[in-house]
Amino acid sequence: MKLPRLVRQIGKRVVKAAPILRRHILTSTDYKVLDGIEAARRAATSSDGWLAARTVARQERAYQALIADMKQGQPRLDFTVAAEAVSATGIASPCLLEVGCGSGYYSEVLADLVPGGISYAGIDYSEAMIARARSNYPSTAFEVADATRLPYPDNAFDIVFNGVSLMHIIDYQAAIREAARVTGRYCILHTVPVFDDHQTTYLSKHAYGAPVVEIVFGKGELMALCRNAGLRLLREWPCIPYDVSEVTGHRSRTETYLFSKDAAR
């Protein structure tokens, strides 16, 4: 019994020690703190990152396993929290836009886990992601679009759901304003990495083998941005663990937030 455990431990050390293995086997690796927004912009434009078909394929493989677990009655915490946040709006079969939908897997998650289902549309700036989403879910509406300039009129949706993409949007302030503009009632920011005691920080990392930029938000700043955009916090949920203290010196975690739109604005 001891030998297999030893083999696994050695295997993990080998993977972590070899950059090419780390980046192709582990989901997220090689975190580094960037020196502000301009460094983040340069890092984001120097790589195809989320635009690459190989990144899409690797992410999809990871989520296929999670979807399979959900179908077996064992959804991961972030799936459960997403469904709970949508259900907490109290809207029957809401019209929901997912911003940063990737390959579209949350259309399936929410259809399965939200009682009564939803009317779903998804957008992503990556043509490769949208191509895969359309292939996987041909009866669902997906469009290539920019989260900072959404191609929809004011109050077009009951819920705007930003599912794990805000952390990758350099101009996140504009993305929050646009989400507030096109929602008629509620906005959900899902699985957002935050610090309680540190400022918003830009990081570079490898996600599914591709270099990308990631943002961990100072929670106070994030809440102020949402208030200024006309969003009022109703509920929050702890979500999946996410601690980058090893590279930042400050503990972080992820949370999901449900906001209502201020009708007076």
Answer whether residue 18 is part of any domain: no
Grade residue 4 by pLDDT with cuts at 50, 70 and 90: low
Grade residue 134 by pLDDT with cuts at 50, 70 and 90: very high
Query: Can you spell out the DSSP letters for 75-92?
Result: --HHHHHHHHHHHTT--S
Answer whether residue 232 is part of any domain: yes
Enter the pTM of the model.
0.87
**Model confidence pLDDT, tens digit, residues 145-155:** 999 999 999 99
- Of 18-22, 87-91, 159-163, 173-177, minimum mean pLDDT range: 18-22
Which CA distances in Å does 116 have to 92, 96, 144? Answer: 7, 13, 27
Indicate the length of the chain as a whole number: 265
**Model confidence pLDDT, tens digit, residues 201-245:** 999 888 777 888 999 999 999 999 999 999 999 999 999 999 999
Q: Which two tokens stand for residue 82?
A: 């997403």
**Model confidence pLDDT, tens digit, residues 167-210:** 999 999 999 999 999 999 999 999 999 999 999 999 988 877 78
Q: How far apart are CA 137 and CA 132, in angstroms?
A: 8
The parent domain of residue 100 ranges over 29-261
Q: What is the CATH number of the domain that holds 124?
A: 3.40.50.150
How many domains does one find in the chain?
A: 1
Answer whether residue 80 is part of any domain: yes
> What share of the chain has pLDDT > 90, as a percent?
73
Answer whether residue 4 is part of any domain: no
Answer whether residue 20 is part of any domain: no
Answer whether residue 166 is part of any domain: yes
Q: How far apart are CA 144 and CA 58, in angstroms?
A: 20
| Three-state DSSP state, 68 | helix
Cα dihedral sign for 131, 135, 139, 140? negative
